[in-house]
Amino acid sequence: MAIIPFDDRDGFIWFDGDLIPWRDAKIHVLNHGLHYASCVFEGERIYDGKVFKLAEHSRRLVESARLLGMKLPYSAAEVSEATDRTVAANNMVNGYARPVVWRGSEMMAVAAQAARIHMAIAVWQWPSYWSPEARMQGIRLDISEWRRPHPQTAPTQAKASGLYMIGTLSKHTAEAAGYDDSLLLDWRGQIAEASGANIFFVFDGEVHTPIPDCFLNGITRQTVMDLVRARGLKLVERAIMPEEMARAGECFLTGSAAELTPVREIGPYTFTPGAVTRQLIADYDALVRA
């Protein structure tokens, strides 16, 4: 399949307050976000012309910027309004939205207090990863050599671009070995998340998930937790060690891009996507189009 470059597409991108032609959205190579990772973003799904949980995503974008010392010149409400404008301008029905915030090119050093804070929003078509049949087969994960860092070593509650470097390294290694994705442990050796999605396990009908104390507490994660509670299932947030996967019956990932994706294998451990996973997928799919 031919790759369509993201810098050569039709449509409009919201850039620092204005909707401009897609191909005109350019920045200089000497910008602080590129060189020093002073960049945060959001990943949002568009269903039937509306961004799911838009207000939550916009608030998190503002908070992520704050955690990196960047005062976004727009409120969360203004970010949401700009996102809606971008979706409408591109006539996007079902797709993906990517707001991004970064420091500009005024200063090129570690310290860049005078650099301007920029924001852009792009949307594009992005169907679900899987057909309903393929989805329930479950994906295969390797176990990464990289680990999520201690929260005193990085702003782990920000959706910051720099924190995704080890996710990219992990996923590239996994795909080269024939896997779909990779599981990352944290600095303690506890289960953390996949390269860009949160993880859940089902133990004897109970749904367990790691405590997000060193990785992002995903909006889809929180949504699925609400669905678990609504179904009357027991939900447990706790430290989960890798060897415990031997007794888990089901496993799934959650994320705006991944939605709710079953897992059938992680390294030497196997799972069978079952009744709990099927029910939560049905509940999630109904919710996003409600």
- Given the DSSP bridges, would you call strands 44-47 and 95-103 parallel, antiparallel or unpaired? antiparallel
Which amino acid is it at 189?
G
Q: What does the block give as tokens for 290? A: 């409600």
Beta bridge partners of 14: 19, 121
Q: Is-contact 79 44, C-beta < 8 A? A: no
Amino acid residing at 253: L
Alpha-carbon span 264 to 250, nearest angstrom? 8
User: Which residue in this structure is represented by tokens 């019956």?
Assistant: 249
- Annotated catalytic residue, options 50, 159, 171, 234: 159
Catalytic annotation present for 26: no
**Cα→Cα distances 179→22, 154, 169, 170, Å:** 34, 28, 13, 11
Question: To which H or E segment does residue 139 belong?
Answer: strand 139-148
**Three-state DSSP state, 254:** strand
Q: How far apart are CA 114 and CA 105, in angstroms?
A: 10
The answer to whether the beta carbons of residues 251 and 259 sit under 8 Å apart is: no
Q: Which residues are catalytic?
A: 159
